[in-house]
Every structure is written in structure tokens, then in C-alpha cells.
Amino acid sequence: MSPQASIRFDLLRSAPLDSWVALSGDETRIVAVGKDYSEVVKMSDEAGENDPVILKTPSVWAPVFV
């Protein structure tokens, strides 16, 4: 796994389940977390993130074998 993918993986695993998450444009930090997409877009705008990567976390993480 590349270092960038490992950072993204760790960030997403640390985020609350079944939530919308906005990552910074370089995908190195979480800039917003919320229960709906529009809330996360607004929060990331307010945080000054112009190009967030917005994802929905699953309700349950599947096991990962690395």
C-alpha cells in the first residue's frame, strides 16, 4: 500500500461510521464530519477547504487483510 493510501485508510477508519466525511484536497486530514452531505460541504467551505474529497463511511467496516 502506498504511503498516501495508508494515510487515507487510517483517516477513514478513524472517522465515525455511517457519516459523511470531507478530507482535505491532499487527503491528509479530515476537515469535516456530519450526518448529511450538505452539512459536510458547508463545514468544509467554512474551514477554508476549496477542493475537499467527500466520502460516505460505511455502517460497518469489512475486515481488511494486508
| Residue-level pLDDT at 5 | 83
DSSP secondary structure letters along 11-22: HHHHSPTT-EEE
Number of domains in the chain: 1
pLDDT band at 12 (very low <50, low <70, confident <90, very high): confident
Q: Is residue 21 part of a domain?
A: yes
Domain that holds residue 13: 3-56
CA dist., res. 19 & res. 2, Å (int): 25
pLDDT band at 66 (very low <50, low <70, confident <90, very high): low
Q: Is residue 12 part of a domain?
A: yes
Q: Is residue 37 part of a domain?
A: yes
Q: Is residue 13 part of a domain?
A: yes
Whole-angstrom CA distances from 35 to 3, 11, 16, 56 are: 29, 17, 10, 9
What pTM, to 2 d.p., does this model score?
0.83
| Residue-level pLDDT at 39 | 97
Q: Is residue 61 part of a domain?
A: no
CA dist., res. 15 & res. 66, Å (int): 20
Stretch 16-27: mean pLDDT, rounded?
94
Tell whether the model's pLDDT for residue 21 goes beyond 90.
yes
What are the grid coordinates assigned to 45, written together? 467551505
